[in-house]
Amino acid sequence: MTYHLAGDSTVAPMKPEEEPMTGWGECLAEFVSGPVRNLAFGGATTESFVTSGSWAVLIEEVEPRDTVVIQFGHNDQKVPGVLDARGGYTARLRKFVDETRARGATAVLCTSCERRHFDGDRITPSHGDYPNAVRDLADEINTPLVDLTAFTTWLYEDLGVAASASLFSHYAPRETAAWPDGLVDDTHFRLHGARRIAAFVGGSLGAIERRDGNLPALGPSLIS
């Protein structure tokens, strides 16, 4: 079984020139039982993933019993009208699921990783109706869901304001060659944060596979 990833920068593989900033897809192979093929890229929407040809490349190599993990929303919400949460966004997600199923594979939808925007000790939701739209679509078409919005909100709040910063691309001046003047980015993960998210995704995929009878053995721990 191969895991194929479709998504945006919070999923995408590490670029050498941006190390240690990376998406959780960079680390997923540590927590699943098969190879990972990560086609996610920065700035991707459900529309640009199609128009760039990335979806066609991804789906062409999907085989029966593979798993396609789909996470968009960060950038779709920046394209009102065309990619409304209950419009073009979910229409395209539905198309991805339909085409995955037509290949005999399993489609897994993910809500977006939350941004680290604290108000006191609580996270302020930043994706509007998009997470709920994905949850409702998954329920409607009976597709497995990994709720990364809920998980990451819990994770950041559990760690607290100070400790949760260690998951993200907060770099002091001269700490990393990519950002010699330093960086404070509360959307994109550093390697440590990407690994925490990947551990949860991997454990969730294992649970889905055990439920469906595709993975008899226990998967990896959710704790990294």
Q: Can you say how many angstroms the Cα of residue 91 is from the centroid of all Cα atoms in its chain?
A: 19
CATH code given to domain 3-212: 3.40.50.1110
C-alpha radius of gyration, the chain, whole number = 17
Q: What digits encode the pLDDT tens for the residues 106-116? A: 999 999 999 99
Instruction: Delimit the domains of the chain by residue range.
Output: 3-212
Q: What is the mean pLDDT of the chain?
A: 94
For the cut 60, the answer to whether the pLDDT of residue 20 exceeds it is: yes
CB 35 within 8 A of CB 43: no
Would you say the pTM of this structure is higher than 0.85?
Answer: yes
